[in-house]
Structures are given as structure tokens and as C-alpha cells.
Structure 1
């Protein structure tokens, strides 16, 4: 069975998040010598109608009262507005997806790699992980766009992460909680990879595909996912699952913050203020998800080669080492990136 799935060296990167939205965001992440890959904020084929009045985020310290006039969105960005920047940071968000389309992100990647061709950028070829979402048919179309881009430029190292885990879209629960829906996505991914595999010059140039998963809380959920991954066999002889990596875990939905006036801190599509919890408060659950998936994946040759990108509450070297200890092949962060900026990757690497 093939063991090379996705190469991320150094094994540190960002996860799909608001701080990986713009050209400037993505280039800063790409230029950092402490990142081994760059994940781009989750996009749709046609873009997402972002509305600052209902798509929001805030930083907070668990267990502490939030002022009634607490800032949110870009205004809440620490550390300058944080009284004690050494405290672990958590985030709550009611965000949707990126306002930029997948095609626009492919253009941004071409611009960044083009600068490297001109000798104005690092010569290192880092993978770009394009996080995408939509229906199963739209995911197949997204893979076609990514594969075509990879075919046209052999210097592009592209992968696609299918986000099946956003908790903030009204009337659209995360598909990764439903086996039937999950299997439909896996079938679409399998068909897409089979179509384009023969057109690539080398196996490594075929865009790898992963799943961004939500948090799971009981054994049957983990077993359901692994069973689907095991049955989604690659068409390539000698390979296992059609999925190359999983990213776990995304934010924990139906979380709520109340301010000093006992009102929701954030607005949301539903008007409830419920959103996705991330950062330090999620770290123990994320560690448990990574550990459980690694143990189950390793039990079967079909799934043993699937890499895990561990994400959830990592903001220092110790946190990254915990993730690696329980089975993450690479470690990603989002809340800490929003808090510290791209320098967080040097902080994690050097233990500063």
C-alpha cells in the first residue's frame, strides 16, 4: 500500500480560518519558514455572501465575564486589546465561508507561485490546501478546477480539503455526522480522482484530498466515519482509502457566550448567537478526537495510511507536541494565528 499521502515539512500549518482569506494573508503564511503548507479559508464555487452583522467572531478567556461592549470581529483582535496576553485564548464564531470563490483562490496561488518563478520569493514548494465545501456534485466540480490547475503548472502542489463540518450554516447540519451523506461525498471524490489520475505526469502531482471533520463525542460516531473511509477504496492498485488525510477537529457547534448583561455576545444567522467554539477550550476534545481516529485508522491496512492534521487549541510548542504524541502527522492552528499573527509558527517551533 502507498504510504505517501501528503507531505508537510515542517509539520506545521494553519487551518482554514478568517486569517487565511486574502492574498496578503496567504502570502504571509507561504513565506514563513516555519510553515510546511498553507490552508486557504473554506470557499464555494460561487462565493459566500458574508455579512458583518451576522458573521462574527470574538476572542475570550474561558470562565471570565465578557463586558457588554466587548469588541468583535477585527476590532477584537488581540494581543493589543488583551489585558493579559499570556492567557490561553479561545474563540467563538458565527462565520460562514469565504467571500472569495475557489477560482479566485487558484488565481491568488498562481500569483504567489509566479513571484517565486521570478526569483522574488522562497524557492520552496509548499503545498496549498484548498478548503472547499458545497454539494457532492459541487465538490466534484471543485476537484476538477483544482486538478486542472495542477495539470497546467507542475510547480503547483495542490491538495483539496472538503469541509463537511461547519456548524454555523442555518438548516445545513454538518454532513460528516450523517453516514449516508458522508458516503455520497466519498463517492463523488472517488469518481473525481479516478477521472484525473491518468492525466497527471506523476502520482505526486495528483491533488490529494482530505476531509475536515467536526468534533465527535461517542465511539459509534468515530466507527461510522472510519467504516466509510475503509469502504471508499481508491481505484489505484496498491492504495487504500480514496481519502489521503483528515483534519480534526473543526469548531464545536451550538456554543454560546453571554456578556455581562446576559445577552449573546455575537449575532448569528438564526439570531440565537450560537456558534462554533475553538481555541484553548476545545483542546482536550480535539486531542481525544485525534487519538481515537489514529487508533481506529491504524487497525486496517485500508485506512492506516491516512494522515491526520490535528487542530484545536494549539498555541505553543507543548500543545503541538501533545498533538503529535496522540497521532497527528502535522499540526495546525487558527485561533492562535488570529491572536499572534504568522509569528505564532516560530513561537511554536522554538518554544518561545
Structure 2
């Protein structure tokens, strides 16, 4: 079990924002799975992403690995908010255990982000800002560019100031050298989005489990090490993502410092959880 902001995730395993969390049936199946402690929607925009024929995913033959170019959901944010509301309402009516939902969204500017956050707040859900998608033509992931991500985090901090119950998250791309980690921690501190009661972070991988483990381990040391005195930074929880296809891989991610572990390829290739 893990508590992140106002939500409890038990067991501490979730699906990540992926193509296999795109529609009502997929979200319902993830919600009903005994292995998910929370459900993450596919990343959406306010009006829907222009999906083309180049969007897709391929799997390797010999390992549980994938390479994707599926981008964001072609469906608007309103579709996911409606589906999640229906799933949770049905769970309450049947007296079932209610799992948290994480609504994954993306925006390139603060002006685009604010109305999306307002819709999520109005529905009393939790928000995850995806800054890591590398598959959008002519658009570098904002998680690599501090000047781009700063206004987005400021908008999130403003939203939390207005609503202390809002749990927010940030999905980051994989970093490969120390300066990238330090720059992101500094941006989090400057924007004051790192209060213990409002945020978590996810670490994304490319193709390497070692890279994702290294990202989780490095952020864990920077945020929770003895030298870190900022209470807000120390309160951030890490969701580790990348290469989690076995119980052993899940255990490695937890030992590296992840409070919660996320998976997508395993779900897409097997259509089920094998944990």
C-alpha cells in the first residue's frame, strides 16, 4: 500500500498512460483487475489528438518489450472524465471497493493546461501531467526543457493552492546525465509544486530497465537523501516505470526507491497482468 497525496494505492501497482487504457471497456477491465491499486487513463488533450496511420506499437519476439509511436489519445478529456465517473458511480452503487483514477493529460502551454485542470478538479479526480512523450513530430518533450515546463508547473501549483485535495503528478522522460536531474529538482522547488500533500512524479524509460531503475534511484537520492532539507521535495513520491514485466523487476523498482510501480508493455502484449 502507498499513500500519495490524498489517494491510497493498494496494491502499489498501476497501469501507465498507454494505448491499452484508451476506452471504456479497457478502463473497466483495469479497474476490475485485482492487481491494480489505481487506474491511469491514456493521455488526452482538451479536444483530442490527431491520430494518424503512423501511430502504433510493435512487440519483440524474444522478450516482453515494445516500441511505440502511438502518441496521445484521439479522444478528448471529456470522454475520459465521463467514463471514469460512470465506473466509479457503478462501484459505489454495488458497494465495491473504490479505486482511485489518475487522469493523464498533456498541454504545451499553461493557458491550455488550466481549463483541463479545472475540469479534473470539478470532477474531484487526480491529475497527471505527461511531459515525456517523445513521439510527437516537431515537439520535444517539455520534461527536457526547464523553460517549457516551468509555466506548466506554476499552473499546477496555482490549482493546488485553490484546492488542497487535488493530487497531482508529473510524468518525466528518461534522463541520462546528472545536470538534467538537478535542473528538474530546481524547477520543482522554484514552482513550489512539491508540497508533500499534492504531488508525485513518475520516471519513464526508453528501452532499458537499467535506465529506468537509474532514474528512480537518482531521483530518490536527490529527493529523500540526507542532504535534502526541503520538506516539500522530501514529500514527493516516485512511481517507477519501465521494464516491469516480472515480479523480480517490480521488486527491483521498489528497492530503487519507487513507492508505486507502473507497467504498460506487459498489459499490451499479454492483455493481462501476470503478477
TM-score grouping bracket, smaller chain normalisation: over 0.9
Instruction: Within 5 Å, give how 1:289-300 maps onto structure 2.
Output: 289-298=215-224, 299-300=228-229
Matched, 1:248 2:203: yes
Name the count of aligned residue pairs: 267
Matched, 1:117 2:92: yes
In structure 1, runs of 5+ residues without a counterpart are 62-86, 151-157, 198-202, 253-280
**Which residue of 305, 312, 325 maps to 2:235?**
305
Q: Deviations over 1:126-145 (max 9, x none)?
A: 11001100122222111100
SS of 1:212's partner is strand
Q: Which has the larger radius of gyration?
A: 1
Q: Deviations over 1:78-132 (max 9, x none)?
A: xxxxxxxxx431111112100111111010011111222331xx62121100110
SS of 1:160's partner is strand
Counterpart in 1 of 2:100?
A: 127
Counterpart in 2 of 1:60?
A: 60
- Checking the alignment, whether the CA contact within 8 Å between 1:230 and 1:241 is kept in structure 2 is no
Q: How high is the TM-score relative to the length of structure 1?
A: 0.73
- Checking the alignment, whether the CA contact within 8 Å between 2:4 and 2:237 is kept in structure 1 is no
Report the CA distance between 1:293 and its aligned residue.
Answer: 0.5
Counterpart in 2 of 1:73?
A: none
Matched, 1:163 2:136: no
Distance in 1, Cα, partners of 2:197 & 2:147:
17
Counterpart in 1 of 2:171?
A: 212
Distance in 2, Cα, partners of 1:147 & 1:178:
27
Pairwise CA RMSD of aligned residues?
1.7
Q: How high is the TM-score relative to the length of structure 2?
A: 0.92
Q: Deviations over 1:219-272 (max 9, x none)?
A: 0000000111122225xxxx836851011115x3xxxxxxxxxxxxxxxxxxxx
Distance of aligned partners of 1:210 and 1:47 in 2 relative to their CA distance in 1, 3 Å threshold:
same
Distance of aligned partners of 1:241 and 1:172 in 2 relative to their CA distance in 1, 3 Å threshold:
farther
In structure 2, runs of 5+ residues without a counterpart are none
Where do 4+ consecutive residues of structure 1 move more than 3 Å? none
Q: Which has the higher helix share?
A: 2
Q: Deviations over 1:166-197 (max 9, x none)?
A: 111111101111111111111111112223x1
SS of 2:233's partner is coil
